Chain A
């Protein structure tokens, strides 16, 4: 018996979400009184793999085949399922991100293992095995029992945090036959903005809504984001109007994010918007309307015009750094 975590890398690097996954899975293994194995797919430098040892990993299986350097959900799922079988895993844990969403359901079907996505904390109980997850787009939590012997969880970002737990780590190559039939989807082009803070990873997010009045007015938003090392985001009408790209849209029908700090400028705080941000640790709202619903979910509020308040905040953050 054991539990297995699939730690995804991006261009050869792990992210904090990978370390959070390992921290969580280690705690789950302790709870279940068993050991943890971490699986890594794709070529990766040994120093990078060793970083997993800072968060409680003592055994890493790696499949370092260059064919697997980019995500192919079918092949990845096949490997995750085979690795889980080979270590006799009773639980398989992945991150609730694009790749977790693509792989976990396939593994669930392969192993007939019940899957719960976007789990918020360690299991509420082990027997029966019950976990707590986000439901109704963040308006509530649900307790879900997994009835199969094998269990699959994907964990929500920032639900657990990083737990340092240095361990001696052994790295083993996991030998597996990779079926070339599983590579039917071909990548013909790829674009990546390397210099931009990625919204779904960001600890701080500066978000703006229709209160900015025009797409020409975004400079104060970008300047504040730059000082804070933050990602930028927006409300749905802003992306629907084409003022900003779709990748910035947060809310029920856009991205669901959980940064440490979310600054909402000129956003009214409609229920569908709040669904995407309610798990932020701290919310700051800036709005001319003191009755705007965003203030009922915010921790700190400023009543004022975004065009005055944002530059002032940028200035204050800049001064506090120097």
Chain B
């Protein structure tokens, strides 16, 4: 069984975002890039499934749509343990374009399970995984909090408001994963980093695909006014302010 993990390359979560060229572009000067946190958890879970001798996962490949600047992030994914990395050399213009590129790759290179994160922490589109499923006409499961294999029988947990569902699916399928899929993201070991240098990182040309949306400009949220401090003995005062000033009760 083969698992494909979609990787988005995003600014470190502590990044203070800034924009340039009349607020039309993200200013990436000084930005540290990381594997999108959910994608990192998905890769961790894929590794756990492969290491569990009870099932037949024998290949984990990571895929990214973007320029060469993401290669360091893909090397990190290889150091964590992926067997192979593929980069589709295209500007990741929008979710439709990214999902379409990955679907083109999948048509030539089939996988059994495709993992994607619930959203990428830069453009928060929450769309790539479900779009891949639709391009490929595969079943897809969203809000996935666990994936287990038992003799290739697949069991997936999905979070629903106030609870969970246990699902069974056939392969191939797309799992859009969120918190819970793995406990902690794996950190590459020294040996993993050494081995990653020799693992394949294939660069594929982009397919001709349409772009349906375009980012025009950015704005920062309005600054918050000062915080009104209330004495810890005066709980009634806070209740009164919430009722009559903030009007949120």
Please report A residues at the B interface, Cβ cutoff 8 Å.
Answer: 10, 73-74, 77, 96-98, 101-106, 108-110, 112-118, 130, 132-148, 184-194, 196, 198, 200-201, 204, 228, 239-240, 246-247, 249, 252-254, 260-261, 271-272, 275, 278, 281-282, 284-285, 295-305, 308-309, 312-313, 315-317, 319-320
Q: Name the residue of chain A whose CB is nearest to the CB of B130.
A: A105
CA A242 – CA B126 in complex, angstroms? Answer: 27
Evaluate contact between A296 and B14: CB separation under 8 angstroms: no
Contacts of B134 on A, CB cut-off 8 Å? 77, 105-106, 108-110
Evaluate contact between B163 and A188: CB separation under 8 angstroms: no
CA A296 – CA B226 in complex, angstroms? Answer: 7
Contacts of A106 on B, CB cut-off 8 Å? 130-131, 133-134, 140
Question: B221 touches which one: A109, A141, A247 (CB < 8 A)?
Answer: A141
CA A137 – CA B11 in complex, angstroms? Answer: 11
Q: Name the residue of chain A whose CB is nearest to the CB of B184.
A: A240
CA A240 – CA B38 in complex, angstroms? Answer: 14
User: Is B17 on the interface with A (CB-CB < 8 A)?
Assistant: yes
CB-CB under 8 A for A196 and B162, given A133-B124, A261-B249: yes
CA A151 – CA B241 in complex, angstroms? Answer: 42
Q: Name the residue of chain B whose CB is nearest to the CB of A103.
A: B130
Evaluate contact between A105 and B131: CB separation under 8 angstroms: yes
Evaluate contact between B130 and A73: CB separation under 8 angstroms: yes
Beyond the given A102-B140, A105-B130, A116-B213, could you list 14 further A-B residue pairs with CB under 8 A, ordered by the A residue number? A101-B118, A104-B127, A109-B96, A109-B99, A109-B134, A139-B15, A140-B17, A185-B169, A191-B164, A228-B249, A284-B242, A295-B229, A302-B230, A302-B232
Question: A260 touches which one: B179, B233, B238, B248 (CB < 8 A)?
Answer: B248
Contacts of A299 on B, CB cut-off 8 Å? 224-225, 227-228, 246
CB-CB under 8 A for A144 and B163, given A105-B99, A282-B246, A313-B238: no
CA A104 – CA B216 in complex, angstroms? Answer: 22
Q: Name the residue of chain B whose CB is nearest to the CB of A196.
A: B162
CA A261 – CA B235 in complex, angstroms? Answer: 16
Evaluate contact between B217 and A200: CB separation under 8 angstroms: no
Return B56 CB to nearest CB of chain A, in Å.
Answer: 21
CB-CB under 8 A for A184 and B96, given A101-B126, A298-B227: no
Contact residues, B86-144 vs A (CB, 8 A): 94-96, 99, 118, 121-131, 133-135, 139-143
Evaluate contact between A253 and B179: CB separation under 8 angstroms: yes
Evaluate contact between B184 and A135: CB separation under 8 angstroms: no
User: Is B66 on the interface with A (CB-CB < 8 A)?
Assistant: no
Return B118 CB to nearest CB of chain A, in Å.
Answer: 7
User: Is B81 on the interface with A (CB-CB < 8 A)?
Assistant: no
Please report B residues at the A interface, Cβ cutoff 8 Å.
Answer: 11, 13-17, 19, 37-38, 94-96, 99, 118, 121-131, 133-135, 139-143, 145, 155, 159-170, 173, 176, 179-180, 183-184, 210-221, 224-225, 227-233, 235-236, 238-243, 246, 248-249
CB-CB under 8 A for A296 and B227, given A105-B95, A118-B126, A147-B212: yes
CB-CB under 8 A for A308 and B232, given A137-B121, A187-B165, A300-B227: yes
Question: B216 touches which one: A118, A137, A144, A302 (CB < 8 A)?
Answer: A144
CA A175 – CA B98 in complex, angstroms? Answer: 34
Question: A117 touches which one: B126, B170, B176 (CB < 8 A)?
Answer: B126
CA A10 – CA B236 in complex, angstroms? Answer: 37
CB-CB under 8 A for A189 and B165, given A115-B95, A300-B228: yes
Instruction: Give the residue among B133, B210, B212 with the most A Cβ atoms within 10 A.
Output: B212
Contacts of B11 on A, CB cut-off 8 Å? 136
Evaluate contact between B230 and A301: CB separation under 8 angstroms: yes
Evaluate contact between B216 and A300: CB separation under 8 angstroms: no
Contacts of A252 on B, CB cut-off 8 Å? 13, 37, 121
CA A305 – CA B230 in complex, angstroms? Answer: 13
